[in-house]
């Protein structure tokens, strides 16, 4: 066979002195790097993706995965990936795929924003002593409220409130479908969402019956492939999301490779086993805001008016689009920045289309306020939220809540190796191979995800305490409490944030 001219990225090495020939590495590697040679473990390092599963399961610390020192000559302009992709394309004529969010060194605005804190004149609050309110309601808010006196003489709310989604804290899990991730990974999300009083999202792949017990913590998604969508499904969760776009691949559809379509996934999606599940780029019943409105209300009619969220990728004209979405009747606008993760996307799209979520939040929040419709819909921000600090900054820029996916997968073992599209994930997350998915015990890993959410919850409370405020509501859109470092005036203007020192 013709040897690829793209040298392996990593070298999987075994210290032969330490190795006790237990063969665990052979069992654990989803990519088939190791095999048994009769007296020792053989290594086909060209398949290694540095997911580190073997390293973690080697009882003797005998394995080391190193970046291949034999690289193309360093060149500040022709990067490693440029050469590698050209060589792969020359060999296959195909589009290189990738998983996870873009790792290119574009400016990360979250890392150029700092949060305020109280000193002397405005006392901070001790979250260990004082109650801190993180509860968040997603949905349309009335522009005014009226009260009336009840028979008992007490004041009662007269205005009929539109339906709201109640969250214990302003963090939810981003949509990830059964198919793109394993059912066990979905269960981890569902268990954690229920335990933490937040929400998970089915993505576009139907709702497996094992998730029915978690329906109060589930948003169901409708996307262009309409996989798994029937009236039961629409009514199964607390809300319905129409997916127009995804930050990692704005403007292009979904493509679940046939390798990830075994019988159960095929059945949930109602397509033949082993075909590629294709979600067309646009929804062919939505070519305009008016069409979107029709689908939003068709769903509302079919669900007795559950809240409807519309998810879009953050793109250049995001503010105007979001305004249209709100006017079309959406209860929630879900913005996904270009750093957002994916199970499979052409790397050329992932790395070069869209805009960062930080700009998008600020632009959308501004626009909706200018138009006097900010109360008509909540904003969820997603696409690269790495920590509670990113979450707090996103909320201060104007989001009502953030959505996380990669961070959640990392608690399940993911090392962001980026090879999710192969269906070989050694951690049992983005694969449907039963021997791999079986390793992800939902109960065990849910515990870890719950820990993460609780830790972020504490951190958010600490941040609020330091800011001297006791409710997340007071941070929402409060850009006065952010400062920019090293940002030019135009970016500061877009973000509506002052430079540090002012």
Which chain residues interact with other proteins by CB under 8 A?
A: 88-89, 91-97, 222, 224-227, 229-232, 234, 255, 257-258, 266-267, 269-272, 274-276, 278, 280, 284-285, 294-295, 297-299, 301-303, 346, 421-422
* Residue from the set 14, 24, 28, 189 that interacts with ligand SF4 by CB under 6 A: 28
Q: Does 237 bind ligand SF4 (CB under 6 A)?
A: no
Q: What torsion do the CA atoms of 287, 340, 220, 392 make, to the nearest 10 degrees?
A: -120
d(CA 229, CA 220) in angstroms, rounded, equals 9
* Residue from the set 360, 417, 453, 464 that interacts with ligand SF4 by CB under 6 A: 417
284 binds, among other proteins, ligand SF4, none (CB under 5 to 8 A by kind): other proteins
Asked if residue 350 lies in contact with residue 96, where contact means CB atoms within 8 angstroms, the answer is no
* Shortest CB 96 distance to other proteins, Å: 5
Of 8 and 197, CB closest to ligand SF4:
8
Among 317, 384, 361, residue whose Cα is nearest residue 102? 384
Q: Does 12 bind ligand SF4 (CB under 6 A)?
A: yes
Of 94 and 153, CB closest to other proteins:
94
Q: Does 427 bind ligand SF4 (CB under 6 A)?
A: yes
383 binds, among other proteins, ligand SF4, none (CB under 5 to 8 A by kind): none
Which residues, in sequence order, are bridge partners of residue 382? 336, 403
d(CA 141, CA 16) in angstroms, rounded, equals 65
Q: Does 49 bind ligand SF4 (CB under 6 A)?
A: yes
Of 258 and 496, CB closest to other proteins:
258
d(CA 375, CA 141) in angstroms, rounded, equals 5
d(CA 135, CA 463) in angstroms, rounded, equals 15
Among 337, 350, 341, residue whose Cα is nearest residue 405? 341
Among 275, 418, 294, residue whose Cα is nearest residue 344? 418
**Angle (deg, nearest 10), helices 289-302 and 318-327:** 40
**Binding pattern to ligand SF4, positions 91-130, x when CB under 6 A?**
--------xx------------------------------
Parallel/antiparallel/unpaired status of strands 498-499 and 482-484: parallel
Interface with ligand SF4 by CB under 6 A: which range of 79-87, 158-166, 419-427, 487-495? Answer: 419-427
* Shortest CB 245 distance to other proteins, Å: 17
Among 203, 368, 219, residue whose Cα is nearest residue 299? 219
Parallel/antiparallel/unpaired status of strands 63-67 and 147-149: unpaired
Half-sphere exposure of 203 (CA within 13 A, CB side): 28
* Shortest CB 23 distance to ligand SF4, Å: 13
Q: Does 418 bind ligand SF4 (CB under 6 A)?
A: yes
499 binds, among other proteins, ligand SF4, none (CB under 5 to 8 A by kind): none
Phi first, then psi: give them for residue 166, nearest 5 degrees: -95, 125
Interface residue list for ligand SF4 (CB under 6 A):
12, 28-29, 31, 33, 48-54, 65, 99-100, 409, 414-420, 425-427, 429-430
């Amino acid at each position: 066979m013709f040897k690829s001219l793209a040298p392996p990225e990593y070298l999987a090495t075994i210290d032969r002195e330490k190795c006790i020939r237990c063969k665990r590495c052979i069992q654990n590697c989803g990519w088939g790097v190791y095999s048994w040679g009769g007296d020792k473990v053989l290594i086909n390092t060209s398949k290694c993706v540095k997911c580190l599963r073997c390293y973690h399961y080697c009882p003797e610390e005998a394995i080391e995965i190193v970046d291949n020192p034999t690289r193309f000559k360093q060149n500040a302009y022709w990067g490693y990936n440029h050469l590698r992709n050209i060589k792969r394309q020359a060999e296959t004529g195909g589009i290189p795929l990738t998983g996870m969010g873009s790792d290119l060194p574009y400016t990360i605005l979250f890392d150029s924003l700092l949060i305020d804190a109280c000193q002397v004149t405005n006392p901070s609050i001790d979250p260990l002593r004082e109650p801190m309110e993180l509860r968040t309601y997603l949905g349309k808010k009335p522009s005014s409220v009226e009260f009336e006196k009840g028979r008992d003489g007490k004041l009662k709310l007269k205005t009929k409130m539109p339906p709201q989604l109640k969250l214990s804290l302003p963090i939810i899990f981003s949509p990830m479908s059964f198919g793109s991730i394993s059912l066990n990974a979905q269960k981890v999300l569902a268990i954690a969402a229920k335990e933490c009083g937040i929400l998970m999202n089915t993505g576009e792949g139907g709702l497996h019956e094992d998730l029915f017990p978690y329906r109060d913590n589930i948003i169901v998604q409708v996307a262009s492939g309409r996989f798994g969508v029937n009236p039961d499904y629409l009514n199964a969760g607390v809300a319905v999301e129409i997916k127009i776009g995804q930050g990692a691949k704005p403007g292009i559809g979904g493509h679940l490779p046939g390798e990830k379509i075994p019988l159960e996934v095929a059945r949930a999606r109602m397509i033949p086993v082993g075909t590629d599940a294709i979600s067309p780029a646009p929804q062919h019943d939505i070519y305009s805001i008016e069409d979107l409105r029709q689908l939003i209300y068709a769903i509302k009619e079919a669900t007795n008016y559950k809240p409807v969220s519309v998810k879009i990728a953050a793109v250049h004209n995001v503010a105007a689009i979001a305004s249209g979405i709100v006017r079309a009747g959406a209860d929630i606008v879900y913005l996904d920045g270009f750093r957002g993760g994916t199970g499979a996307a052409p790397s050329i799209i992932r790395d070069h289309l869209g805009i960062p979520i930080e700009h998008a939040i600020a632009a959308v929040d501004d626009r909706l306020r200018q138009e006097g419709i900010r109360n008509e819909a909540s904003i969820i921000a997603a696409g690269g939220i790495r920590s509670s600090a990113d979450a707090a900054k996103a909320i201060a820029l104007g989001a009502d809540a953030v959505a996380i996916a990669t961070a959640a997968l990392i608690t399940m073992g993911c090392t962001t190796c980026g090879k999710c599209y192969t269906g070989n994930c050694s951690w049992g997350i983005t694969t449907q191979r039963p021997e791999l998915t079986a390793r992800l015990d939902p109960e065990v890993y849910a515990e870890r995800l719950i820990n993460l959410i609780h830790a972020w919850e504490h951190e958010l409370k600490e941040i609020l305490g330091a800011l001297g405020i006791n409710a997340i509501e007071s941070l929402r859109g409060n850009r006065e409490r952010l400062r920019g470092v090293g940002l030019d005036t135009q970016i500061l203007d877009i973000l509506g944030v002052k430079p540090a020192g002012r």
